[in-house]
Each structure stands twice: as C-alpha cells, then as structure tokens.
Amino acid sequence: MSRKQQMPRPKSDLGDDDTGCPILHVDMDAFYAGVELRERPELVGSPVIIGAPGARGVVLSATYEARRFGVHSAMPMTRARRLCPQAVIIPPSRGKYAEVSRGVMEIFHTFTPEVEPIASDEAFLDVGGARKRLGPSAAIAAMIRERVAREQGITCSVGVANSKFVAKLASQHCKPDGLLVVPVDKVVDFLHPLPVGALWGVGERTEQSLVRLGVRTVGDLAAIPLATLQHQLGQAAGAHLAALAWGRDERPVTPHVPDKSIGAEETFATDVDDPVKIRRELLRLSERVAARLREGGHVGRTVSVKLRRADFSTISRSRTLREPTDVAQVLYATACDLYAAAGLEKVRLRLVGVRVESLRPAGETPRQLGLGERESGWREAEQAMDRAARRFGRDAVLPASLVRPPFGEIDP
C-alpha cells in the first residue's frame, strides 16, 4: 500500500468556512474504472481492475473495492491478480477516456476560465472571481460534483483551500466521492498530523533522510530549524519543505499550460527481435502521437525514440527536424532512422516508444516548400483519417501494414 493510501483520514470537524479559500482541486475517483462501470452497472461495488490482462500488463486503474486488497495503478498485472484473484479485469478503452476527460474539462470551464489541468482526470480551479455570481467556494465545488455525476456518469472528489498544495491533499483525503474544505485557520491543524511523505517533493530517499532526523510527521518537520533542514537537504529543498509544512504555497492556478511533449509507448507481450515487427509498432505509435498532436493543435520539431532491451536497460535517440510537423509518416520515417542508428535491429526489445518535443501551435510557422518541392498530401490524408476516427472509431481507417488479416498475421 502506498504512503498516500496510508494517510489518516482527516477529521470531519475542520469546518466548512471557505472564506479566503478560492482554490479547488477536482479529482475523478478511479477515473478509468469509473468510465468503464457506466456501461457495466452490475459491477458497481465489485473489485474491478482496468489494464491489459497479459503477463506484461500493468494496472491503469482499480476500483476502491480492489484497492482494499493493495491493488494500485502502475502495479504489474500479475501481482494485482495475486492480491485480488476475484477481481474483474477490463481492457482499457483509451478513446473513451479522452472523450470523458474533454467533457469534464468543459464543465470546469463553465464555472471559471482559471482552470489548470494536471492530468486527464484532475485539475486545479481558481473560483475567486466566480464566487461573486455563484456563491461560496464550497457551493461551487458541490455544483461541479453534481454536474460531473449527471453529465458524465462518474464521481469526483473536491478539495477546497487557500492554496494548491492544501487543496490537493484535501481532495485525496475525502475520496471517494467527497468534498472537504480546509479553512484558513485550520490549515496547520490539518497538515501537522500527516506523515511527512504527504509533502510534495518528499520521495523515498528524502523521507529516509528526514526519518534519521526523527521526522515522521509534517508537524515534526515544522519544528526543525530551517538551517538544519537546509544543511540536511540543500538550500532550495529545505526552504521548500519548511514552507509547505506551514501551509505556505504561493503558486497561482495557471490556465492553459501548454504541453511540453507528446508521446506514446508500448510494452510487448513477449520480447521482440524482429525489425519488421518493431517498425510496425513504431508506425502504430507514430500514428497515435501524430493524432494527439493534431487534436491538440500542436506541431513538434524534435522526435525521439525509446528502446528498452529485454534486460530493462533503456536507450533513447532523438533528432531535430528542419521544421515542425504533425504528420505521422514524417514521425515514422524519423523513428525508423533513429532505431537503425541505435544499432539494436538484432537485439530483443521489451518496449518501444515515440515522443515529439519542442511543441508549438500549429499554423504559427507556415510550411516552407523547397524549390520544385510538392506537397506530399500526407497531412490531408491523415486529417481525413482523423475525421473518420471521430465518426466511426479509432480503428476505422488504418495504414495497410497495421491491418490484421482475418486469419492472423502473414509473414512479410
């Protein structure tokens, strides 16, 4: 069980005075599982795990009934099955999750433009301006929860506080399907009983260093002189944790944070050393990344591949293109070149990935054709594929090499 799951649940007597608490952290409850259970109401209340069922699969999400057995996201599926053999395992439906995520974010924006998504299923909201027309922060949080449940058929938990840090902790502590207000004058009472691992920036190594100082709770940390913390952890880390221990977090909600990179990766069911199959997977990943670039209105200039050997050692190779792109065929050609340059064409691989960085808005820089160069037509073809995918599903139109024959794959 993770440190976050071990945190004591806060007392219900913190109060609901949300004066000076404009920050909301809204987090969907077991997001992927919640989306799947909308279509399987008979499984509500049962242990359910979302993830690829194969031996190499990992848990993407789990209902709270499964989490009671110690199952959590990113856990290998083989271990999850041992911990909870009675769980129902459902393969993921990624397109469905993206659609629900967009719907949830649209709900947030009807309350305030100050929305900072930090994942597909959670976001910070600053409702300071919205309170003048909609009422107190807690009332807005309740309205958001009601609309998410009514319009998307899933539940969410909301933390209300005077800072992002405390609001996020509050949402974690009222899960599932809860709402918790941490009044300004109760922040210290809320924080100090928590384990020190609750603080942002405290990983396992930092926690071990703090335990050697006798620090086990946030309150213990708050009692340590700043100079001692900085000597033990460094100037910046010591000052950061000392501020958090007293609930000081000045970071504002930052709307529309641009993506820094977009990528996709795949772990093979069994290790693969066939270059044809590797390139086929690079094409599949390039298609996926390019579709996400176009969906987000991005183009990118730096393409990288991630190649993990059977012994788990991983290498990455990257190349900066002459001009940014959102075309899968360009990404694929570059990824294949990088794969060949890595010298791993005869090496068994466990995982491959494709990523695009140096993103900018599409259309910001018009494409420059060289003398005598013609448009390839790939962009228009892929945009047509996007339209077909939105109407008929992601697999409605695929490159020929990705179409599986009806009786299995044919050796090329």
Give residue 228's domain range. 192-245
φ, ψ dihedrals at 265, nearest 5°: -145, 165
Q: Within a domain: residue 4?
A: no
Give the pLDDT of residue 385.
59
Q: Within a domain: residue 349?
A: yes
Q: Within a domain: residue 407?
A: no
Average pLDDT over residues 311-317: 89
CA 314 to chain centre: 22
144-194 pLDDT per residue, tens: 999 999 999 999 999 999 999 999 999 999 999 999 999 999 999 999 999
Mark whether 213 and 274 lie in a shared domain: no
**Which residues participate in catalysis according to the annotation?**
122
**Confidence band of 338 (pLDDT split at 50, 70, 90):** very high
Q: Within a domain: residue 250?
A: no
Mark whether 62 and 108 lie in a shared domain: yes
Mark whether 203 and 232 lie in a shared domain: yes
Mark whether 201 and 147 lie in a shared domain: no
Q: How far apart, in whole angstroms, are the C-alpha atoms of residue 257 and residue 115?
A: 9
Mark whether 154 and 28 lie in a shared domain: yes
**Confidence band of 391 (pLDDT split at 50, 70, 90):** low
Q: How does DSSP classify residue 25?
A: E
Residue 121 is labelled as binding a ligand? yes
Percent of the chain with pLDDT over 70: 83
**223 pLDDT above the threshold of 60:** yes
* Number of domains observed in the structure of the chain: 3
β-pairing, 88-90 vs 48-51, is parallel
127-153 pLDDT per residue, tens: 999 999 999 999 999 999 999 999 999
Mark whether 38 and 73 lie in a shared domain: yes
Is the model more confident about 205 or about 372?
205
Mark whether 394 and 293 lie in a shared domain: yes
21-40 pLDDT per residue, tens: 999 999 999 999 999 999 89
Residue 29 is labelled as binding a ligand? no
Among the candidates 185, 201, 229, a domain finishes at 185
Q: What is the CATH number of the domain that holds 297?
A: 3.30.1490.100
64-99 pLDDT per residue, tens: 999 999 999 889 999 999 999 999 999 988 778 888
Mark whether 44 and 167 lie in a shared domain: yes
Mark whether 204 and 324 lie in a shared domain: no
**409 pLDDT above the threshold of 60:** no
Mark whether 202 and 156 lie in a shared domain: no
Mark whether 226 and 265 lie in a shared domain: no
Mark whether 32 and 59 lie in a shared domain: yes
Q: Which candidate, 288, 297, 398, places its Cα nearest to that of 335?
A: 288
Q: Within a domain: residue 67?
A: yes
**Spatial contact of 16 and 138, defined as CB atoms under 8 Å apart:** yes
- Other Cβ atoms closer than 10 A to 208: 9
Give the pLDDT of residue 379.
60
Q: Within a domain: residue 6?
A: no
User: Does an H or E element contain 49, and which?
Assistant: strand 48-51
β-pairing, 115-119 vs 122-126, is antiparallel
Q: What is the CATH number of the domain that holds 235?
A: 1.10.150.20
**Confidence band of 389 (pLDDT split at 50, 70, 90):** low
